[in-house]
């Protein structure tokens, strides 16, 4: 993500299309949080956290799971669990673990990254995996792990391409980690179960605070041995939490109530893109609107003025140039889309 032009809200906005991370807990979610039974999760006796971990492990078809404070922490603990110092992670050169997570695996784990080319749909070519894996030579790091993600910049990567990359890596002796920041968007779009989406992955990081609408949290799932190592890594990076059942309850509510409704976000993104491409001076490629993101090509020099114009009207965006990313979500439905487009028309008029 390009963070140029990001805004900081001083008050709740009428419309916020910066990201699907900006959602606020619904009334039902707040009620679930208030009623949550809690314990001390560092001691392993928070019943709501334990229930969430069991639920996600079963949902993803894995042996065990661990609640984390964020997707970055979850990915980091997974990479530290899979790799030792001097080993190497293969990933896409524009995948989140490489470009947007502060190089944590390298800084804290002494782990190398080997970025690879990405196809237009966000997939990796299995032959590139073969070319990138290092030989058994003392001059080279040891290739240990492949990381994948789906969705990628809002694009839903075809499942056969995800499986092809994962199988090639495993055939070559690598483990596979799946960064599922918006994996439930991919599941809804593809019409497949979460366990099927990540069937080839040895570990999965499933974020709960984006389209699913929980206020915080990600769950890492994998084998019991991997989760034990990740649990130790979580402690290392200061991720132990205490009466965190209140947040686990929000996550449980999200999984029970907010998965199927992701289709509404996808429909609203199409609604948004269709209207914006009718605005003079803007261009939207509808072929890439797969889930809840719309990318708009902007006229040169329009980004900052547009951002200021909308902020004065209670609307928040990240208006980078030459492209603006807009995100639909739980708090941004059809009415908000229509109001937003009216304001955009007013600016460019």
212 located within any domain: yes
The whole model's pTM is what? Answer: 0.94
Percent of the chain exceeding pLDDT 70 equals 97
Of 257, 289, 316, which closes a domain? 257
- What pLDDT, in 10s, does the model give residues 69-101? 999 999 999 999 999 999 999 999 999 999 999
Domain boundary (257, 274, 303) is at 257
Q: Which residues pair with 68 in a beta bridge?
A: 218
294 and 250 belong to one structural domain: no
Assess whether 241 and 270 both reside in one domain: no
Residue of 155, 151, 122 lying closest to 289 (CA atoms): 155
CATH number of domain containing 266: 3.90.1150.10
Confidence category of residue 170, pLDDT binned at 50, 70, 90: very high
181: nearest Cα among 167, 169, 168, 197: 197
Residue 21 has a CB neighbour count (10 Å cut-off) of 17
pLDDT at 2 over 50: no
- Identify whether residues 134 and 210 lie together within a single domain: yes
pLDDT in the model for residue 247: 97
**12: confidence class by pLDDT, cuts 50, 70, 90:** low
Query: pLDDT tens, 218-258?
Result: 999 999 999 999 999 999 999 999 999 999 999 999 999 99
Mention every residue, 6+ apart, whose C-beta is less than 8 A from residue 166. Answer: 146, 148, 176, 200, 201
Whether residue 95 lies inside any domain: the answer is: yes
Question: Are residues 241 and 319 part of one domain?
Answer: no
**269 and 197 in a common domain:** no
The mean pLDDT of 295-299, rounded to a whole number, is 94
List the alpha helices (DSSP H) in 5-70.
27-34, 47-60
Number of domains in the chain: 2
Q: How far apart are CA 339 and CA 249, in angstroms?
A: 33
In a domain, 176, yes or no: yes
Are 234 and 73 spatial neighbours (Cβ–Cβ below 8 Å)? yes
Q: Are 86 and 141 in contact (CB under 8 A)?
A: yes
Q: Are residues 94 and 123 in the same domain?
A: yes
Mean pLDDT of 314-339: 94
What domain range is 265 assigned to?
Answer: 15-23+261-348
Are residues 160 and 265 both part of a single domain?
no
29 falls within a domain? no
Residue 220 lies in a domain: yes
Domain end position, chosen among 257, 292, 309:
257
Quote the pLDDT of residue 11: 56
Looking at the structure, do residues 189 and 272 belong to the same domain, yes or no? no
Q: Which residues contact 270 (CB under 8 A, 6 or more apart)?
A: 286, 289
Whether the Cβ atoms of residue 273 and residue 252 lie closer than 8 Å to each other = no
CATH number at residue 120: 3.40.640.10
Give the DSSP per-residue string, 219-246: EEEE-HHHHHHHHHHHHHTT---SSTHH
**Which 8-state DSSP code applies to residue 111?**
-
């Amino acid at each position: 993500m390009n963070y140029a032009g990001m805004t900081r809200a001083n008050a709740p906005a009428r419309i916020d299309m910066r990201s699907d991370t900006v959602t606020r807990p619904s009334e039902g979610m707040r009620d679930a949080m208030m009623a949550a039974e809690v314990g001390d999760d560092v001691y392993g006796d928070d019943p709501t956290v334990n229930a969430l971990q069991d639920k996600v492990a079963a949902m993803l078809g894995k042996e065990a799971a661990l609640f984390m404070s964020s997707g970055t922490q979850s990915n980091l603990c997974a990479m530290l669990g899979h790799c030792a110092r001097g080993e190497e992670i293969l990933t896409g050169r524009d995948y989140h673990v490489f470009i947007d997570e502060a190089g944590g695996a390298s800084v804290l784990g002494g782990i190398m990254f080997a970025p690879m080319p990405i196809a237009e749909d966000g997939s990796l070519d299995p032959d590139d995996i073969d070319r990138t894996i290092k030989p058994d030579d003392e001059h080279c790091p040891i290739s240990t792990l492949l990381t994948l993600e789906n969705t990628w910049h809002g694009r839903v990567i075809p499942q056969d391409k995800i499986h092809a990359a994962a199988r090639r890596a495993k055939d070559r002796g690598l483990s596979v980690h799946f960064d599922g920041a918006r994996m439930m968007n991919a599941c809804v779009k593809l019409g497949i179960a979460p366990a099927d989406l990540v069937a080839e992955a040895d570990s999965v990081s499933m974020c709960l605070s984006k389209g699913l609408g929980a206020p915080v949290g990600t769950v890492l799932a994998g084998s019991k041995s991997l989760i034990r190592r990740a649990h130790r890594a979580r402690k290392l990076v200061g991720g132990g939490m205490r009466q965190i059942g209140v947040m686990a309850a929000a996550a449980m509510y999200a999984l029970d109530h907010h998965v199927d409704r992701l289709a509404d976000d996808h429909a609203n993104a199409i609604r948004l893109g269709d209207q914006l491409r009718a605005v003079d001076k803007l261009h939207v490629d509808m072929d890439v609107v797969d889930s809840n993101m719309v990318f708009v090509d902007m006229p040169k020099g329009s980004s900052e003025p547009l951002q200021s114009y909308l902020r004065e009207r209670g609307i928040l965006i990240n208006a980078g140039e030459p492209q603006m990313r807009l995100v639909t979500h739980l708090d941004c439905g059809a009415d908000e889309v229509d109001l937003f487009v009216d304001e955009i028309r007013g600016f460019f008029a």
